[in-house]
């Protein structure tokens, strides 16, 4: 099922190595799946051929109980009554990034939600040309949640707070897909009106035309800055209580390749909020 913008944001994949820093990313994945009335697959990625210890990771049912969405004595069947489908799987692969790629080739996902840190978790694994292969061989978007960042979903309550989203725009790649994706996400999230900042960096005369969706909850605000691209993005985010940065990327600057030194990676290394990366079709 697609949103009224023609963008599907219902099927989510959450790869995790069970590190503590990935718990916030898990909360974002679960909240997105709930509000989309969609599906969430939690993929444990492990270098060792050992059985996954799911007790070491937050329980879906326990989290929903903590959020007040399930009663204390709820059983597993009651999770489905919330309109969300949850599944769990494991990947035993010496190269975990290869395992994620292989899994994405077998199983569809609209959005991959994962924790990221410069020196921890999956960032140790996602290097070289493999990340570029993932970027070019999947249609999935990626929501990166940096370690130590609370994001826009409260881990303890499940509440969504998304007062402002920042979308840096340029003529290449076209901003239309990322704008439509953000509108679809905001409309389905359990939050109020969101200011969506369309930031162009450089000569105002070269600001690209954007097909703005007729969103019930997005308030579009145009901005222009001059200077270093990464500096401008991070400064605007810090000054305007931005809780999500959404970036359109091309095939060589998108998805997991965002961790290799691109503009997206440099923004991700400095920002204090999650980053959504959607590569141009």
Which of 269, 277, 278, 279 minimizes the C-alpha distance to 116? 269
Confidence of residue 1 (pLDDT cuts 50, 70, 90): very low
What is the model's pLDDT at position 251? 53
CB-based contacts of 85, cutoff 8 Å, min separation 6: 38, 39, 40
Lowest mean pLDDT of 4-18, 178-192, 213-227, name the range: 4-18
**Which of 79-83, 100-104, 138-142, 159-163 is least confident?**
138-142
CATH classification for the domain delimited by 11-146, as one of 3.40.50.1000, 3.40.50.720, 3.30.750.80, 3.40.50.620: 3.40.50.620
Pick the CATH number of 164-279 from 2.60.40.2470, 3.40.50.2300, 3.40.1190.20, 3.40.50.620: 3.40.50.620
Specify the pLDDT at position 133: 43
| pLDDT tens-digit map of 192-238 | 999 999 999 999 999 999 999 999 899 999 999 999 999 999 999 99
Strand partners, 40: 12, 86
Q: Which of 50, 51, 43, 49 is nearest to 17 (CA)?
A: 43
pLDDT value for 202? 94
Q: Does position 190 have pLDDT exceeding 60, yes or no?
A: yes
Query: Cα(212)–Cα(34) distance, rounded to whole angstroms?
Result: 26
d(CA 263, CA 254): 10
Mean of the pLDDT values across residues 169-188? 92
Q: Encode pLDDT of 79-107 as tens digits.
A: 999 999 999 888 776 676 777 778 887 88
Mean pLDDT taken over the chain: 83
- Report percent pLDDT > 70 for the chain: 79
Residues 6+ away with beta carbon under 8 Å from 128: 260
Closest CA to 244 of 210, 214, 278, 281: 278
Q: Which of 128-132, 138-142, 208-212, 215-219 has the lowest mean pLDDT?
A: 128-132
* Residues linked to residue 42 through DSSP beta bridges, in sequence order: 14, 88
Name the residue ranges covered by the structural domains of the chain: 11-146, 164-279
pLDDT, tens digit, for every residue of 14-58?
988 777 678 999 999 999 999 999 999 999 887 666 666 667 678
- 107/109 Cα distance (integer angstroms): 7
All residues at 6 or more sequence positions from 232 whose CB lies less than 8 Å from its CB, including other chains: 199, 201, 225, 226
Share of the chain above pLDDT 90, in %: 50
Determine the Cα–Cα distance for residues 37 and 20; give it in Å rounded to an integer: 27
Pick the more confident residue, 103 or 152: 152
| Topology alike, domains 11-146 and 164-279 | yes
- Residues listed for the chain: 281
């Amino acid at each position: 099922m697609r949103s009224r913008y023609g963008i599907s944001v219902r099927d989510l994949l959450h790869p995790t190595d069970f590190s503590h820093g990935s718990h916030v990313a898990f909360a974002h994945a679960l909240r997105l799946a709930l509000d989309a009335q969609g599906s969430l697959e939690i993929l444990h990625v492990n270098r060792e051929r050992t059985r996954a210890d799911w007790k070491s990771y937050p329980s879906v049912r326990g989290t929903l109980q903590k959020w007040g969405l399930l009663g204390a004595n709820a059983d597993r069947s009651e999770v489905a009554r919330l309109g969300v489908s949850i599944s769990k799987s494991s990947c035993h692969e010496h190269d975990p990034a290869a395992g994620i790629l292989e899994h994405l080739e077998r199983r569809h996902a609209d959005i991959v939600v994962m924790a990221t840190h410069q020196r921890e978790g999956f960032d140790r694994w996602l290097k070289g040309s493999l990340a570029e292969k993932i970027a070019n061989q999947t249609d999935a978007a990626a929501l990166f949640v940096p370690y130590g960042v609370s994001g826009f979903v409260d881990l303890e309550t499940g509440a969504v707070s998304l007062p402002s989203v920042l979308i840096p725009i340029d003529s290449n790649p076209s901003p239309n897909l990322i704008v439509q994706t953000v509108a679809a996400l905001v409309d389905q999230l359990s939050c109020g009106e969101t200011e969506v900042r369309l930031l162009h960096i450089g000569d105002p005369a070269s600001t690209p035309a954007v097909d703005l969706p007729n969103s019930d909850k997005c308030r579009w605000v145009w901005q222009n800055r001059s200077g270093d691209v990464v500096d401008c993005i991070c400064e605007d985010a810090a000054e305007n209580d931005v809780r999500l940065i959404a970036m359109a990327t091309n095939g060589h600057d998108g998805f997991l390749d965002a961790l290799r030194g691109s503009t997206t990676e440099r923004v991700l290394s400095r920002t204090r909020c999650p980053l959504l990366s959607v590569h141009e079709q």
